[in-house]
Structure 1
Amino acid sequence: MPSNPSWTWRKLLQSRDWCRGWFTVNIGNGSSTFLWYDYWLPEGKRFIDMHTLRTLTATGLPWNARVSSIINEGHWNFPMHITGLHASWQSIVFHPKPQLEDHCVWKGNSTGNFSIRSAWDLLRDKRPLNNIHLLLWFKGHIPRQSFILWLAGLGRLRTMDRLHSAEIIRNRTCILCGLHTETHAHLFFECPTSKTVWRTVNARANIYWPCCTWPNILQWGSANYYRKDDITHLIARFLLSATVYLLWFEHNKRIFNNQYLTATNIAEEVFQQVRTQLTTMQFSGAIPTAICNI
């Protein structure tokens, strides 16, 4: 952090704005809490936000009055001659505690105590929880396959629709099926060719994946195939990353080398890569029969 004092004070002043209302006061004897300007009313409200200063000073109490100025012998002594304040007075259903000091409560934490962590949770932008990393980085993963799967999950592969939008090419037709516009959702796995590969791979390995859109497949997979030491979970992740990688590899071979494989041959390459990877790994438990036969 910079040692410039002016920078530090500027940041402190900025932090004062966002934390307004998050610190409330539990009234004891009221001697340390400003009556009009502090957040001590029910629901963390304060008088100055609900009434004009003209209305408040009409009570005869100064702008810097403390809550103790409306406490008399341990009981509330509200100035009732200003009708516009009646609703606010009536909202105060708790009683002062003359034997105790006022103390602040931090609303950002269930304990009422301030912490940097709770303040950070309030400040940061929250996004939906995404556990796709569980499908990408796991024991024995193949880096190049995980990298392609990561790009596909972000929608960053150079599919035909993206190249067309960038005005690099005119044709948006899927290179695998030649029937539909090529998008990430189409390529994984709505395209007839990729769908055949995906179904063949899962049927042969006896691994279940639901029939849903590409983003939902990733979300479902990260929520259901996440265990580190479960061989079935590990194989499911291998099959996903290998299938995505080899479909993308086939996509590029058809474009740049004019070489074509059938869906059956692509599926066989997936099996071969998974077999090769399994032979290099050690497992504490038995591998399921369906997996051994892929």
Structure 2
Amino acid sequence: MSAWFDYWNDLGPLGDFLLPRTITDADFRLDDPVAKIFYNGVWNWPVAWRDLFPVLIQLDHLHLEPSKPDRLLWKDDGEINEFSSSAVWHSVRHREPEVDWCSFVWFAQCIPRHAFMMWLIMKGKLLTQDKILQWDLSRRKNMNMMCCLLCYENFDSHSHLFFKCKFSSQVWLMVRNRVGMSFVCPRWVDIVDWLRVRARSKKAHVYVAMILVAATAYSIWQERNARLFENQLRPPKTVSDIILKTVRYKLMGAKLKNTDRVRKLLGEWEITKESENDGG
């Protein structure tokens, strides 16, 4: 245990008021243990220190316990607690206020790659054509050659792809009825508003809706990239079928409460107890 920098007394680390130069001038080392300065009930520091640092007098009644094990402590904003990697991380990490969409992007039993895609969309971080045109001024002369590869109108952007695009809006209209979102327009802001109100709900149908929205956004972006890089084109019906199949497979393995309402919900997705076991 460090004599100068550990919390082994009520005064705190002696290094808080003893400068390193003061310590070394007294023929001590900065890495000395407590046993170096306190031995057989006697303090081994210079007598003059008691006049220079009267606070040391308070240590006269200190009874050290040599057999007591060392403890790792962590000081954060003046508060001393037991050391843990979690406490250190929360102490040193950059913090920002929690966003109101966090609970429907990162939620229990989500599909991780879909959640990551949702996070990118909410942050506006996808590399869409409108951003490319802003970054590369040399391409401005070719703006008329760029267009959304899903509908071949405009150039793609976050708001266009999700879901103002004729292709993606068709996909959304095909899947939204399965999760009680039949009146939610194919606009990202409307979909987000619907989710935001219900995001902290524990109801199974809300969980399914969050899974479906994330799967839809992921599939639209995948279709866009498949057309851009692989020249593969699929119609809206095929993409919507893939989305519904993805949601169904996820529900087959999800851990949901065994209630009448949940069983009815699973039945609507053609999931029986037998098929649920097959998928688990």
How many pairs were matched up?
A: 172
> One-letter code of the match for 1:271?
L
1:141 aligned partner: 110
Structure number with higher relative contact order (C-alpha < 8 Å, ≥ 6 residues apart): 1
> How much has 1:208 moved relative to structure 2?
4.2
State the Cα RMSD in Å: 2.8
2:184/2:190 contact within 8 Å kept: no
For residues 146 and 198 of structure 2, the distance between their equivalents in structure 1, rounded to whole angstroms, comes to 34
Relative to structure 1, is the Cα distance of residues 158 and 288 closer, same or farther in structure 2, using a 3 angstrom cutoff? Answer: farther
**Within the alignment, does 1:273 sit opposite 2:246 as a pair?**
yes
User: Which of 215, 218, 232 is the equivalent residue of 1:242?
Assistant: 215
- Equivalent residues in 2 for 1:155-170, closer than 5 Å: 155-167=124-136, 170=142
Q: For 1:166 and 1:252, locate their aligned partners in 2 and report how far apart those are by CA, in whole Å.
A: 20
Q: What's the counterpart of residue 159 of structure 2? A: 185
Instruction: Verify: 1:130 aligned to 2:99, yes or no.
Output: yes
The percentage of aligned residue pairs carrying the same residue is 27
Contact 1:161 1:183 in 2 (8 A): yes
1:209 Cα deviation (Å)? 5.6
Matches for 1:43-62 after TM superposition, within 5 Å: none
Gaps of 5+ in 1: 6-115, 117-125
Contact 2:169/2:186 (<8 A) preserved: no
After superposition, the Cα gap between the structure-2 partners of 1:212 and 1:195, relative to the gap in structure 1 and judged at 3 Å, is closer
What pairs with 1:59-138 in structure 2 (closer than 5 Å)? Answer: 130-138=99-107
| DSSP 3-state at the match of 1:188 | helix
* CA contact 2:104–2:210 (8 Å) conserved in 1: yes
Look up the SS of the partner of 1:245 in the other structure: helix
Quick one: distance in 2 between partners of 1:207 and 1:293?
A: 19
Secondary structure class of the residue paired with 2:127: coil
State the AA in 1 paired with 2:152: G
Q: Specify which structure has the higher proportion of helix.
A: 2
Quote the Cα distance in structure 2 between the aligned partners of 1:293 and 1:138: 24
